[in-house]
Structures are given as structure tokens and as C-alpha cells.
Homo-oligomer: A and B are copies of this chain.
Amino acid sequence: MTDILGFDMPSPARAEPPVRPEYERPLEPLARSAAQAPLPLHRRLWQFAWLRKGLILIALALLWEILARWQGNDLLLPSFSQTLRAFFQDISSGIIPERTINSLNVLLKGYAAGVVLAFVLTTLAVSTQIGRDLLSTLTSMLNPLPPIALLPLALLWFGLGPNSLIFVLVHSVLWPLALNMYTGFTGVPETLRMAGRNYGLRGLRYVLLILVPAALPSIIAGLKIGWAFAWRTLIAAELVFGASSGKGGLGWYIFQNRNELYTDRVFAGLIMVILLGLLVENVLFRQLEKRTVIRWGTSR
């Protein structure tokens, strides 16, 4: 580069830009937006999220199959194909759908209750100092407690059956969601808060109309975590108690088959949980994100 710079130029130490003639131009008419250069096929295909995710799923299934065959211990790790067979058998026999519906029924109630409580608690926490202390104290105290520790209390207060399950579900959903919601609320930029309060908003309306949308990315992450932990807890809780055997859910289905060493059925039950997880993530949460935080530019 130096030789080129050297040519006909002032010394680089005190470079002087050349003086060029001025010009004016008539305004160019507006052109149509350039057609995007067509991408090569494989890159175009790559843009479909479902395709990429499908490939990942296939890869995972293959990995499972290979791992299982290599281990050759199908009482501990059945192969993917065995599991799939068991899955379709129990789907067509109606047993998995029935158990799933039983579980979902309880799960959704517990989830909804947890979400509502988390909202109440965080609203309190953003409005008052004592609410803030209460949230932080309760969360740090109760969140680490395993649901089975609450079992005797649940039994005492809510009796057998779904109510106790809902109680432990709330315990699983409430704290992580409240933590995330509160973190989201405290991260709302000051200017946006001031704008909201300038509209005359206060109390619940302020939280609902300003803080919640502004904190939505965190809240969605909290909802996802809550959803997952609700499943974990429900399945574990159905194993331990509450399932009067007539109306068991998926957890019960898994437990029973595990007891009888039908490991392929155990994994079939887990597949159902996995499928529901994928569905909720890719349909529900993904759509929610697309329509909100991504559209608003608050999350990439």
C-alpha cells in the first residue's frame, strides 16, 4: 500500500485530501426494490426452520438407535425403533392418549394457577418494598424444597387426588416464573417506565400495560421453564402418590411399566412428553415470540 500512497501525495504524516470538483445530480427516480438474488437450493431449504429442526430430530433418533444397539441392554435402554413400536401400539390402543389427557388436565390447571400466583406475587413485589422482600425471601426459601417434601402437607390440606397434584405443580411453576418475571420487570428501562407513568398509569394497569409487555422476553423464558418443570413434577408426583389407579396420568403409565420392566413402554411415555414439549415450544411459544418480541424488535 505504501507505494501507492506515496504517489503524488503529501507526506502521510500530514496527509491532505485532494480537492475534487463539486457536482450536482438530478434526483434519481425511485427504483423498484431489487429482486433478491435467488439463493442456491440447499441454502433456500436451510431457511426453513422445520426442516433444520427435523434434521436435528432425525439425527437424535439415529444417535439413540445406534447407542441402544451398541449397549445391547434393552431393559435399560430400548432402541428407538422398539420404543416407536410400543408408542404406536399404545397410541392405537388408546391408553397413551387417555393417560395424556388425564395428565394434561391436571397440568394445565396447576400451570394456570402457578402463572396467576406468580403474577400476583411479582406485581406486589414491584409495587412495595415489603412485597419485594417477601418475594425474594419466599423464593429463596421455598424454591429449593423438593415437591415430595410438601406431600404430607398437600395431603393434609388438599387431600388425595388432583388437588394435591395441583398444589405441587404450583410449587414448581410459581417460583421460577416469579423470579423471571420480576427480573424482567426490574430490567425495564427507566425512560419507558416514565413514559408509562406519564400516561397516568398506575397499579395493575401500569404492570399489565407497561411492565408485562416490556418484560415479555423474560416472562416467556419463565413460562417455558415453568412448563417444563410442571411436567417433571407431575410425572414424579404421579409416581409417588395421588394416582388412584383408575385415573392415572402419563406419570402413572410410566411408573407402572417401569415396575413391570416394560422399558420400551416407559420410553414411549417419555416420547409423548417430548412430543408435547416440542409441540408447545414450536407452535405455542414460537408463535407467541414471533408475534410479540421478535416483531417488536425486543428480542432477535
User: What does the 1/0 interface line of A114-141 toward B look like (CB < 8 Å)?
Assistant: 0000000000000001100110110111
Which of A30-38, A69-77, A82-90 is near enough to bind chain B? A69-77
Which of A92-100, A158-166, A231-239 is near enough to bind chain B? A231-239
Q: Is A282 an interface residue (CB 8 A)?
A: yes
Collect the chain B residues with CB atoms within 8 Å of residue A239's CB: 148
Which of A8-16, A17-25, A149-157, A195-203 is near enough to bind chain B? A149-157
Collect the chain B residues with CB atoms within 8 Å of residue A224's CB: 139-140, 143, 179
* Interface residue ranges of A218-276 to B (CB < 8 Å): 218, 220-221, 224-225, 227-233, 235-236, 239, 251, 254, 263, 266, 270, 273-274, 276
B176 touches A133 (CB 8 A): no
Collect the chain B residues with CB atoms within 8 Å of residue A130's CB: 52, 56
How far apart are the CA atoms of A293 and B145 in the complex, in Å? 27
Given contacts A235-B146, A277-B144, is CB(A183)–CB(B217) below 8 Å?
yes
Q: Is A101 an interface residue (CB 8 A)?
A: no
Q: How large is the interface on A (under 10, 10 to 19, 20 to 34, 35 or more residues)?
A: 35 or more
Number of copies: 2
Instruction: For the complex formed, measure the closest distance between the CB of A8 and the CB atoms of chain B, giving whole angstroms.
Output: 32
Collect the chain B residues with CB atoms within 8 Å of residue A155's CB: 76
How far apart are the CA atoms of A239 and B278 in the complex, in Å? 30
Given contacts A52-B130, A156-B71, is CB(A232)–CB(B145) below 8 Å?
yes
Interface centre among A49, A225, A235 (most CB of B within 10 A): A225
Q: Is A147 an interface residue (CB 8 A)?
A: yes
Specify which of B56, B228, B254 is in contact with A137 (CB 8 Å cutoff): B56
Q: Is A186 an interface residue (CB 8 A)?
A: yes
How far apart are the CA atoms of A180 and B228 in the complex, in Å? 13
How far apart are the CA atoms of A278 and B251 in the complex, in Å? 32
Collect the chain B residues with CB atoms within 8 Å of residue A236's CB: 146-148, 236
Specify which of B141, B232, B254 is in contact with A277 (CB 8 Å cutoff): B141
- 12 more A-B residue pairs beyond the given contacts A148-B236, A225-B225, with a C-beta to C-beta distance below 8 A: A52-B130, A53-B133, A71-B156, A143-B229, A143-B277, A144-B231, A144-B274, A145-B232, A146-B232, A183-B299, A186-B217, A187-B299
27 CB < 8 A contacts A-B: A46-B129, A53-B136, A53-B137, A56-B137, A57-B137, A60-B141, A71-B156, A76-B155, A139-B281, A140-B282, A140-B285, A143-B228, A143-B229, A143-B232, A144-B228, A144-B232, A144-B277, A145-B231, A146-B251, A148-B236, A175-B228, A180-B218, A183-B218, A183-B221, A183-B299, A186-B300, A236-B236
